[in-house]
Structure 1
Amino acid sequence: MRKLLIAMLSTTLLCSSFSLLAQDLEGDMDILKGAYRTVQKTDDKAEMVKALTDMRAAAENAKTQTPDKLKGQAADSAQVKDYHAGLDTLIGQIDTSLKLANAGDLKGAQEEAKKFAETRDANHKKFR
């Protein structure tokens, strides 16, 4: 019975990982938006860590996508590199916020997360 339960749990986790990887760019942005709201309003460490972890995974997956505005451009073009740099900036900010949240400094993590909006706004002007 225990082996069956472990196998079912493993399959569920594996399938949920694949569904996140299969997410399109719009879906990634929706995850970022929803998780950002959670980060800004929660006082629960576990909820914040989960939201930040989801944001990081969505940002990483977004790097594998191309915005409509950049469709047809070479992967090594300046604009595509700029798009990836913007996501790398966001991922760095998420990592900093996640480190603070894991240390129990939720207010500090929320303050760091305010930078996400600036990064979002700057990159939406360029690529949306």
Structure 2
Amino acid sequence: MHINGSQSMNKKILGSILLIGSLSVSHLAMAASLQNNMISIATAYSDFSKSSNVKDAETALNKMKLAAIDSQKSKPSKLANKPDNSAEVMDYHKGLDQLVAEIDKTNLLVKAGKLDQAKVEGKTLLDIRNVNHKKFK
């Protein structure tokens, strides 16, 4: 009887260890994904600012937008323990929404063939990023 109880206890401990391990890996995967998205946004912005034609500018802005939208699926590690409906997490999402809106605004100028004006407007993208980096990094 003691052996069965001991085996049951070992199974419970092993199950707990596996659960904790999988949650840790899941959290790391989300953090890596968010970090990759932030790198994609920075790289795409650089590509946008160097672009010399509408096609390249649109491609870069679309990459930025996809990364910003994907970033809303996770939270920065600074907010990991905050509930999704907390003011801090909602502010994080608001910053990403602002970034997406500004990308769309900039992309409208690009599509209208106003690349130089789009690049001037696009500097606001950096401002949005910098403000939110200070808050959430």
TM-score with structure 2 setting the length? 0.75
CA distance in 2, matches of 1:65, 1:102: 31
Bigger Rg, structure 1 or 2 = 2
Unaligned runs of 5+ in 2: 1-31
Partner of 2:53: 44
Q: How many residues align?
A: 106
The alignment's C-alpha RMSD in Å is 1.0
**Pairs within 5 Å for 1:1-128:** 24-128=33-137
TM-score, scaled relative to structure 1: 0.80
Letter in 1 for 2:52: D
Aligned to 1:5: none
Deviations 1:32-52 (A, max 9, x none): 000100111111110100000
1:66 & 1:53 partners in 2: Cα distance?
22
Gapped regions of structure 1 (runs ≥ 5): 1-22
Partner of 1:10: none
In the aligned structure 2, how far is the partner of 1:65 from the partner of 1:54?
18
% of aligned pairs identical?
Answer: 36
Distance in structure 2 (CA, Å) of the matches to 1:116 and 1:96:
10
- Give 1:68 shift: 0.4
